[in-house]
Amino acid sequence: MKIDVLSIFPTMFDGMTGNSIIKKTIEKGLVDVSVTDFREYAEGKHQTVDDYPYGGGAGMLLKAQPIFSAVEALQERTPNTKPRVILMDPAGKRFDQKMAEEFAQEEHLIFICGHYEGYDERIREFLVTDEVSIGDYILTGGEIGAMAMMDSVIRLLPGALGNADSAVTDSFSTGLLEHPHYTRPAQFRDMDVPEVLLNGNHKLIEEWRERESLRRTWERRPDLLDNYTLSDQQQKWLDEIKRGVE
């Protein structure tokens, strides 16, 4: 996979790409990440990337020309791929695990990180393929949102994680929140690991995990169950959970 990022603060991405799983995934050659300062593509002596909005109003807008020129230059470098051009914007579609899984299937992603009051509307209308938001709040720029999305996508690439099952069983990947986890010691300050996890019966362990995943989802994110098809057994467990039956 190829990931390009357009930002006027490219060094913000150094910490992300130089550490942990993302760094290892880059070193393995599973993903190629490049961050470009789109100011370099701005015309004029001062390489201005923003200007006042027509009609007046508060704040400055990112100009169309530098971003169009930068995206076109990136596309020329990879003429055999059709990139998804992702605009980081609070008015965009809410990012979720399903979208991460969709983006992970692409060959080339281009993230556009905004600043100031917003973008020239022609960027939305004629350049980008996706407008995406990470939540209903405002940040000073799109970099943090882009990093969150990139992390979520890159870890889904085959070979990125040490255990391939990790991404499959993550919260939201199955449609439910993930079950509780425990590690050694079995007893810590009079707090015990559930006995079922210690008995070696893998069938019972899997049933416990599935039930606890269902319990956690109902207690913390019941909205996820609205679009989740329960099996007969899961429905029985959910009914028992709601009645407080252990």
- Catalytic pick among 51, 53, 90, 180: 90
Q: Domain 2-154: which CATH class? A: alpha beta
Query: pLDDT at position 168, please?
Result: 63
The sign of the CA dihedral 193, 195, 201, 203 is: negative
Do 94 and 135 meet the contact criterion of CB atoms below 8 Å apart?
A: yes
141 is in an annotated binding site: no
Residue-by-residue pLDDT tens, the chain, 246 positions: 999 999 999 999 999 999 999 999 999 999 999 999 999 999 999 999 999 999 998 899 999 999 999 999 999 999 999 999 999 999 999 999 999 999 999 999 999 999 888 999 999 999 999 999 999 999 999 999 999 999 999 999 999 997 666 666 666 778 899 999 999 999 999 999 999 999 999 999 999 999 999 999 999 999 999 999 999 999 999 999 999 876
Query: pLDDT at position 174, please?
Result: 83
- Catalytic pick among 170, 178, 210, 240: 170
135 is in an annotated binding site: yes
Q: Is 124 a catalytic residue?
A: no
Q: Is 216 a catalytic residue?
A: no
Query: pLDDT at position 166, please?
Result: 65
21 is in an annotated binding site: no
Q: What is the CATH number of domain 169-243?
A: 1.10.1270.20
Could you state, in order of their start, the residue ranges of all structural domains in the chain? 2-154, 169-243
